[in-house]
Every structure is written in C-alpha cells, then in structure tokens.
Structure 1
C-alpha cells in the first residue's frame, strides 16, 4: 500500500468560488487543494489532487488508484446522481473511499440532490461543512490506515 491519498473532484468544481457562492462559498478549488496538501504533509502522505468534467476521466483515475492507495476522497458533484460507471469503478477500490459534498445535499432545493448513488460504496460521507470537509476526509483516511496497522 502506498502513502498516497487521491482527492478527486467532479464536474463544475473547477468553477468553485464563482459558481453559486451562496451555496458553495467563495473559496476556489485551488484553496481546497492547499487545505488538502497541508493536511497530507502534516500526516506524511502524498497527495494526488484532480478535477474533471468528464466521467470517463474520473473512471480512469479511480481505476488507477483502486489498488494500493491509502484512500480516495471524492466529491462526485453531478456524478453523485447519475455516475453509474463511477459507482462501478469505486466498487473495485481496495482502500477507504470518503464522499465529500461542500453543501448539505440533504437540505438542497431539489429532492434528487439528496439521492447519492455513490454512498452505497463510500466508507463515510461528509456533507455540508464547506471546503473544511476535504481535510477532515483526508485525516479520516489517515486515521483508518493507522488504526489498521
């Protein structure tokens, strides 16, 4: 097993800080990456941080990390509701998977936003804590790994 934590972000998160700041806040995806980098460095882990608007690219990244990674933090964004190929790829992952959502998906305006298909394969879910959910997810993966010995 490697000491690498993969943080994978789905569609439209490249516009974080610009897109609906009342829901997603004013911080950029670069700020999220900086938070994750600080956390992984403190915990002596490597970080792979990525964002895509393409489902097939997300699947490729998950498949590349499916064996031997310390874990995956994923904000599937819109793939949360319809990314069945991502769900299938995550089923093959041999490490913890933490699903992160910046907004509280259970309090959103449309009921369909609270129906994550990814949850069925996630080790845990962090929702509604803004970008602070990301370093918490990283910390949790490190904690699980240390606990497992």
Structure 2
C-alpha cells in the first residue's frame, strides 16, 4: 500500500476556537454530532454501538465498538487544536486560522487494510474519496451548528 500521507482540507467561515470546540469535543458517552464528531457517521455510531471511554491520561480516549472490532484510540489536544485517531487508519485532524475563518486539515498517515474495521467499500471508492467525503460531512455539521 502507498505509504505517502493522504491529506484533505476544508474551511468553515467561523473562528478557529468555535470550530475546534466542536471538532475536539470528546467525552465519555455515546458517539454523535456532539461527541467525537469525526466518527459520528461511522456505521457503528449510527447504530448507537460506539461509546467513548476516557483514558488514564488527560485528553486520551478510546471508542468501544460492539462486536469483534478493536477500540478506536483517540487523543485530543486543545492547545494545538488537533485530534488524533487510530483505528483502521492513523490520522490527525487539525484546525488552524485562514482568511476564510478556520481551515480543517485531515492527514491520514497510516492505513491498516487487515484491520477488521477496514471496509471493502473503501477499496471501491478509494481512500482519498472516502476521507474527503467524511471531512465534508464533518464540516457541514460544524457549519450548521455554528450557523455559517
């Protein structure tokens, strides 16, 4: 598999702090638009079968899924406005200021095709298409919640 990172970006016409507040919102409980938004559209989350549990270190979490799939590891860092996710892929979301408001970058640096969470559908639509679509969904939710 290609070892180069995949990068997608998008903007939200809102202050960085507001966008980061929604993107980095992670707490114990069910995954949804107000909790671990970046995974809210995953099939397990849509079925209500994905729950966030706090780790022992501040800012670390894991999302437990019903079934045989290993938990998703999450690390939120409000100081750097980043959210790292490790499941069938390893990636980092980052929020920075730009002329349009807030620039959200999702950089996938590792893919694990043999991971049980890696769906056959990704091979059909392509990884870049998948992460681009997922980021657009996240940005649409953020824009809607912020009214922009």
Q: Which has the higher strand share?
A: 2
Provide the TM-score with structure 2 as the length reference: 0.28
Provide the TM-score with structure 1 as the length reference: 0.28
Q: Which has the higher helix share?
A: 1
